[in-house]
Amino acid sequence: MSKLTFSNSDISDLLKIAEAAAYEVGNYLLKMRGQAKIEQQKSSRDDLLDIDLLAEKIILNRLHTETPDIGTLSEEAGHEGRQEAYWLIDPLDGSANFQHRNPTFGVALAFVVDKTTVGAVIYLPTNGEMFTAVQNQGAYVNGTRIHTSKTSILEDAIIHIGDIMKEGKPEITNQRLQDISKLFTQARRIRMIGSAATDLAYLACGRADILVNHAKKPWDREAGKLLVLEAGGNTTNYQRQDEEFLFVYSNGFIHPTAENLFASRY
């Protein structure tokens, strides 16, 4: 296979296809709320829904048809096609919320070239908000440029935390509680909303100041990470000897303070 190269214009054109796919799936998800069935349990507190699989199929069919030379890596179907240039897909981020008719869920797609995320789309169907970013070209929501907040003091910060209970293992949950314990006494407010895509989109547009997340799967973080970076934010990741990861995302202004909270634990 010949090497693929992409200009910023090429990436922008490809993102239009990704946006259309995300919009199509988003409309499908809105129609199917309250109708999901559990296909299997991935862990004691993480269910695979039939809607996860059907939403993934809609996106894959569209991307394989409209971008046949680009591979795909999705949460359930795995890797197909090219591995040096591929779509990274989370068709339903926030499945537990969706299953319980909670409106906080999203669709996330990233475009990865030579192991670097160069394009991102996150669609929040219940908000009608389409977040997009191209590397070195800024971040946008519904076509309007967005920026992270300017909060620089932890006592003023709204901090989102990822779902620390997803694996369903008490020892992991307790370890993660210890990771974030300092935040509860120092931050202005703490939020756990149950959708990493939404967390990162909100951070990118200034609705949150910090996100602390343990989710290490690329489909959980790559699209949102690019949004945050292109909106002016920053990120640091930590790894302990037990293979536990922690990711800290921020508006940039408050990042040194956020890093100091976790440096001693990792």
The CA–CA distances, whole Å, from 137 to 21, 25, 124, 142, 169 equal 22, 26, 21, 15, 41
The CA–CA distances, whole Å, from 168 to 45, 99, 242 equal 5, 17, 17
Nearest-angstrom CA–CA distance, 33 and 56: 16
The pLDDT tens digits for 207-255 are 999 999 987 889 999 999 999 999 999 999 988 766 678 899 999 999 9
8-146 CATH choice from 3.60.20.10, 3.30.1360.40, 3.30.540.10, 1.10.40.30:
3.30.540.10
The pLDDT tens digits for 187-198 are 889 999 999 999
Nearest-angstrom CA–CA distance, 265 and 10: 42
Q: Where in the chain is the domain with CATH 3.40.190.80?
A: 154-265
The pLDDT tens digits for 112-155 are 999 999 999 999 999 999 999 999 999 999 999 999 999 999 99
Across the chain, what does the average pLDDT equal? 89
- The secondary element (H helix, E strand) that includes residue 202 is helix 196-204
Architecture field, domain 154-265: 3-Layer(aba) Sandwich (3.40)
Instruction: Tell me the pTM.
Output: 0.91
Block residue for tokens 């907040």 = 149
Q: Where in the chain is the domain with CATH 3.30.540.10?
A: 8-146
Q: Who has greater pLDDT, 115 or 50?
A: 115
User: What's the pLDDT score for residue 1?
Assistant: 42
